[in-house]
Chains A and B, each alone.
Chain A
Amino acid sequence: MKQDAAIIGRAASGVSANEVEMKARRGMLPEERPEASREVYLRIENLTKKFGDFTALRDVSLDIYDGEFVCFLGPSGCGKTTLLRAIAGLDVQTSGRIEQAGRDISSLPASERDFGIVFQSYALFPNLKVKKNVAYGLENKGLGRQEIRARVAELLELVGLPDQGDKYPAQLSGGQQQRVALARALATSPGLLLLDEPLSALDAKVRAYLRHEIKALQAKLDVTTIMVTHDQEEALTMADRIVVMNHGVIEQVGTPEEIYRHPASPFVGDFIGSMNFLKGRVAGDGRVQIVNHTLETTNMPATVAPGTEVLVCIRPEDIVARNVDGRESNVMDATVHEMEFLGSFYRARLLPGGHASDAIQADFSINLVKDLGVREGGSLRVWLPADRLIVFQER
C-alpha cells in the first residue's frame, strides 16, 4: 500500500499547478500565516545533492522564518536528513545556495556556520560528566570559569536536569541523555537548532513527554528550529510548519492542519494519516463518477476536463454514518465486509458496489457501532461530505 502510494505520489507530483498549490509547495502563503510578520531566517535555493549517480535532493527551495519550528517529514531515503546535513555543512550540497540571517553560507565549513545540533544517537562524550558535556562549547569561547559554571547550571535547569551535572552520560536514562544533548547544543546560543530524529531512540511514553518539552523550550527561547523525523505524529504535534519530502523533492509545505486537510498530492495524503483512494472519472462541474455512484465535491481542480480519470480521496474518519437519512447527494449504501477493533474505534471495510476491490475504509466510534448496530455482513448507509472529497488528476 505504502509502496503503491509512493509511486502514485511521484506520478502525481507534476500535476495541477494552480497558484495556491505552487505557493504552498514553496512554503510561501504569507497572507495566511502569522509568520508573515517575521523575516526569512534561512533561505534555501535550488539545492541539489548527488551521491554518485543517485540524486538525494533535487532542486529543493524553501524559506524558513525567524523563530519557526519546522519539521522535515518523509519516509526513509526521502532526503530529509541529507537536507539537514547540507544546512549544517556536514555534507555539502552539489549545487544550490543557502542563506542564513542574510549571510551566504553555501560553501562555509560546518565550524564556521551558526547552529547547534542534536543527533539521534545524542553523540554525548561518554568520558565527560554531564556538566562538562554542556560546557564543551563554552570553554572554547574564552569565558571565565564562573561564567561557564553559571551558564551550565542555567542550561541544566532549563532542560529539567538541575542536579545531574556530576553524572556520566551512561548513568542517565535515554530521555535524560537526550535533554543533555539539547542543553549542549543550546549552550552557545546558536541562531539555528537542528534536531536529527532526536526522539526515535526513545520509548513511546518518554517520546510523548519530550515532544511537549522540546516544543515548549523552543517557543520559550524563540530559536529557529528544524527537526527531521519520519514520525507523522511528532511532526503534527510539534511543528509550526511541516515540509513533506519524498524522493528528494518537497511534496508540500504547510501548517499541520493544511497538510492534513489539504494534501497537495496523493503521497502526502497517504503518508500522513489514512486515506481512501478511489478511481473515478470527472462527470461534469464538481461531480465525479466512482463505480456506480456520482459524487459531488467542492475540491475539483480547475484544470480537469470532463471524462478525465481522477483519484478521489477521503479520510476514513470523514465518512459519516449518523443522520444520513434525508440527505440526497453523496450517499451510498454499503455492505460491512470486515470490522477491525483498534481500541478507541473500529475501522470498517465497506463495500458500496459489492466487490472487494472497491472497498472503502471508514472509522466508526464504539458508540456509533453500538447505536447503529453496525456488524460484519450487515448493511449501512453512509454519507461522503462534498467538502471532504479531494480529487487528484491521474496521469
Chain B
Amino acid sequence: MTDAVITQRGLPAAAVTQRLSRDDWIMRAFVVLVGVWMFVVVLLPLYFMMSKSVQDPDGNFVGLANFREYFATPALSYSIHNSLYIAVISTIITVSLAFVYAYALTRSAMRAKGVFRVIALFPLLAPSLLPAISFVYLFGKQGVITWLLMGNSIYGPIGIVMGEVFYTFPHAMMILIVALATADARIYEAAISLGASKPRIFFTVTLPAIKYGLVSAVFVVFTLVITDFGIPKVIGGQFNVLAVDIYKQVIGQQNFEMGAVVSVVLLIPAVIAFVADRIVQRRQVALITSSSVPYQPKPSALFDRAMFAYCALIAFMILGILGMAVFASFVTFWPYNMSLSLNNYNFDVMDGGGWEAYWNSLRMAGYTALFGTIIIFTGAYMVEKVKGFRLARNVIQFLCMLPMAVPGMVLGLAYIFFFNHPDNPLGVIYGTMTILVIVTIAHFYTVSHLTAMTALKQMDPEFESVSASLKVPVLKTFLKVTVPVCLPAILDISIYLFVNAMTTVSAVIFLYAPETTLASIAALNMDDAGDVAPAAAMCTMIVLACAIVRVLHAAASHGLERTTQAWRKR
C-alpha cells in the first residue's frame, strides 16, 4: 500500500540536506574560531613543549636521550619522589581536615556557620606564596612560635605541607560541602527507625553517599599540590620538587630541553589524576531525586559544641596565617624594629617591579576577566547550541577539558617554546601583556567552561527554535535572552578569572617582561632577594584587591537579584 502512495505521486525518495541559514553559518564560524583558539593557546604549545623534550639544544631529534639523562641524575629524578611524597601527605591532611569542617557546616546545628564558611574561603584570595611567607615569620629562624617545631626546620617538607594544606583547604571544603549538602533525610529516618547506631549510619549511609565527592576532593587537592610552585619556591629550602625544578632548569640554567623533560614528567601524574577523576565522576548517578527531602540537622549540645570548637580552631589558624603576613608587612624591620609603618609598601625603592607590578596585575586580571568571560561564555554557547557539526563539537569539548590537566608551569614553558619560536608570526605578542592574559585565560579555561555549560544546559532548549520561528537572528537572542538569564553564572566566571589572574604565579613566571611584571611575581622576586616583608606587603595588596572585588561581586549579585533578575521571583 505504501508502494501505491509512492507511485501515485511518482517521486523517488531522495535524501534531503537542509540548507544552512545565516544563523547556522554564523554559529559555525564561531565554533571554528573557538576551535582555532583552543588549538593555538593549548594544543600547539603543548606539542612544541613535548617535541622539545626529545630534541637537543640545536633542535635535532635525539629520542629519549634527555629522559635517560634525567633519570641518570639523582639530583633531578629524586624530585619525583619528593613531589609525590608531599602531594600524598598534603592530600591526606587537607581532605581529613576539610571533611570534618564541611561535616560541621552541613550536618551539625552549631552557630556561626556562615562566618566559618566565609573564613574557610579566605585562602582563595591569596597567592600560594602567602602562607609560605607567613610560616617564615611564625616558624622561621626568628619566628614567633618556632619552638613549636621542636628543633625541626620549617624550610623543607614540613613548611611545604603546611603551606599546601592552607592553600588547598577551601577547594576540598567546597567539593565536600556540595557532596554532604545533598543528603536525603528519608534515608536517615529509615536507618534510625531500623535501629542503626550512629557509627553504623555514618559508615553505611553518609560515607557511601559522598564517596564520589571525597574521591573528587582527593584528586583536586593532589593535582593542586603536585603542580604548585609558589609554596615550595619560598619555603622548600633544599627540598626539590618537580614544579620548582622546571623553574630552576629554565631560569637558572637556561636548560630548556631538561625543563621540557621535567614538564613531561610532571604532566604524567596530573593527567592521571585528571583522567581518574573524570572516570569516577562519570560513574556517579544522581542520588537526589525530585522527591528527596533535604536533611535538617537536629541540635545536639555535645556534638554541636565539639564541632564549633573544631571549626573555631581551624578558622583561627586560617586567620592567624593570613594575619601574620599582613602584620609582618607593617612591621618596620623584623625583629629589630617592631614599630608599625608603611615602609614595606614603598615598593618603588625595591627590586621586583614596584607599584607598577601591582597596577599591571590589576590590569591583567581585569583584561582576563573581561575577555576571558566573553570568549569562554560565547564559545560555550556556540559549541552547545550549533546544529550538527558533531565532530568539531566533540574535539572542542575535549580541548576545553585539557587545561585542567596541564600544570601552570608546564603551560608557561610550552608558551615559551611556541610563541618564542623564530618562525611563529604570533611571536609579536611575546613579552607583552597580551600573552599574559592569553595564558591565564587558557590556564583557567576548564572550570569557567564547565560553569558556563552548566548554566546553558539549564536553559530551555527551545529558545533558539522560538527565535528562529520569529525570524530573530540567533545573536540577538543570545544577547537579549541567554546572557541576561545566565548573568549570575557569567559573574561567577569573571570573578573566578579575576581572582586567579591576581594570585597566579606558575604560568606567567616564564612569560613576563620587565615592563609587564605582575604583583605575585614581584612578591616572589622580592622574597628571593631577601625582602620578605615587602613580599608580604605585596601579597597583602593582592588579597586586598581580591577581597574588594569579591565584596563588589557579592553586592552586584545581590543587586542583580533585586532588579534585573526580578523574574526569578514569583
Q: Which residues of A contact B (CB under 8 A)?
A: 14, 17, 22, 25-26, 45-46, 48, 58-59, 61, 88-90, 92-97, 106-113, 115-117, 119, 121, 123, 125-128, 136-137, 139-141, 168-171, 184-185, 187-188, 190, 249
Contacts and interface: CB of A to CB of B under 8 A. Distances in A.
Interface string B7-23: 00101011111111111
B203 interface: no
Interface in B555-570: 564-570
Interface stretch (B321-329, B349-357, B462-470, B517-525): B462-470
Which among B1, B4, B484, B564 has the highest number of chain A CB atoms within 10 Å?
B1
Contact of B13 (A46, A111, A126, A185): A46
Which among A115, A125, A168, A184 has the highest number of chain B CB atoms within 10 Å?
A125
Contact of B466 (A107, A113, A119, A168): A119
Contact of B5 (A46, A88, A113): A46
A185 B568 CA distance: 23
Which among B21, B22, B473, B565 has the highest number of chain A CB atoms within 10 Å?
B21
Contacts of A170: 567-570
Given A111-B21, A127-B564, A188 B470 contact: yes
8 smallest CB-CB distances across A and B, nearest first, come from A137-B470, A109-B21, A168-B567, A123-B462, A92-B18, A110-B468, A95-B13, A111-B468
Contact of B16 (A14, A90, A94, A113): A94
B462 A121 contact: yes
Which among B5, B564, B568, B569 has the highest number of chain A CB atoms within 10 Å?
B5
Which among A126, A137, A171 has the highest number of chain B CB atoms within 10 Å?
A126
Interface in B453-484: 460, 462-463, 465-473, 476, 480-481, 484
A116 B469 contact: yes
Contact of B467 (A59, A136, A249): A136
Contacts of B468: 89-90, 109-111
B465 A107 contact: no
A137 B11 contact: no
B16 A109 contact: no
Contacts of B569: 170
Contacts of A249: 2
Given A90-B468, A107-B18, 20 more contacts: A26-B5, A59-B5, A88-B465, A88-B469, A90-B465, A92-B18, A94-B16, A95-B15, A109-B19, A109-B468, A111-B22, A123-B462, A123-B463, A125-B485, A126-B567, A126-B568, A127-B481, A127-B484, A127-B564, A170-B567
Contacts of B485: 125-127
17 contacts: A22-B1, A46-B5, A46-B6, A58-B2, A61-B9, A92-B17, A95-B14, A95-B16, A107-B16, A108-B18, A110-B465, A111-B21, A123-B462, A123-B463, A127-B485, A127-B564, A187-B470
Contacts of B56: none
B472 A140 contact: yes
A26 B473 CA distance: 37
B24 interface: yes
Contacts of B463: 123, 125
Nearest to B463: A123
Contacts of A121: 460, 462
Which among B16, B17, B460 has the highest number of chain A CB atoms within 10 Å?
B16
Interface residues of B, number: 43
A45 B471 contact: no
A290 B38 CA distance: 73
A140 B11 contact: no
Contacts of B6: 46, 59
B479 to A, nearest CB: 11
Contact of A109 (B20, B481, B564): B20
A59 B24 contact: no
Contacts of A96: 13, 16
Contacts of A119: 460, 462, 465-466
B16 A169 contact: no
Which among A88, A89, A141, A190 has the highest number of chain B CB atoms within 10 Å?
A89
A109 B465 CA distance: 11
Interface of B: 1-2, 4-6, 9, 11, 13-24, 460, 462-463, 465-473, 476, 480-481, 484-485, 564-570
Contacts of A61: 5, 9
B9 A46 contact: yes
A87 to B, nearest CB: 11
Given A22-B1, A117-B469, A89 B18 contact: yes
Nearest to A115: B469
Given A90-B465, A116-B469, A171-B570, A123 B460 contact: yes
A226 B19 CA distance: 24
A107 B19 contact: yes
Nearest to B5: A61
Nearest to A108: B19
Nearest to A113: B469
B471 A188 contact: yes
A119 to B, nearest CB: 5
A107 B4 CA distance: 25
A329 to B, nearest CB: 34
B462 A46 contact: no
A188 B472 CA distance: 11
B1 A123 contact: no
A89 B464 CA distance: 12
Nearest to A185: B469
A123 B16 contact: no
A184 B470 contact: yes
Nearest to B483: A127
Contacts of A90: 465, 468
Contacts of B20: 109
B570 to A, nearest CB: 6
A136 B13 CA distance: 38
A22 B565 CA distance: 56
A390 to B, nearest CB: 19
A123 B470 CA distance: 13
Contacts of B567: 126-127, 168-171
A26 to B, nearest CB: 7
A89 B471 CA distance: 13
A107 B21 CA distance: 10
A105 B570 CA distance: 41
Contact of A97 (B11, B18, B22): B11
Nearest to B13: A95
Contacts of A22: 1, 4
Contacts of B480: 125, 128
B390 to A, nearest CB: 12
Contact of B11 (A46, A108, A116, A127): A46
Nearest to B466: A123
B474 to A, nearest CB: 9
Nearest to A15: B1
Given A46-B11, A170-B569, A171-B570, A110 B462 contact: no
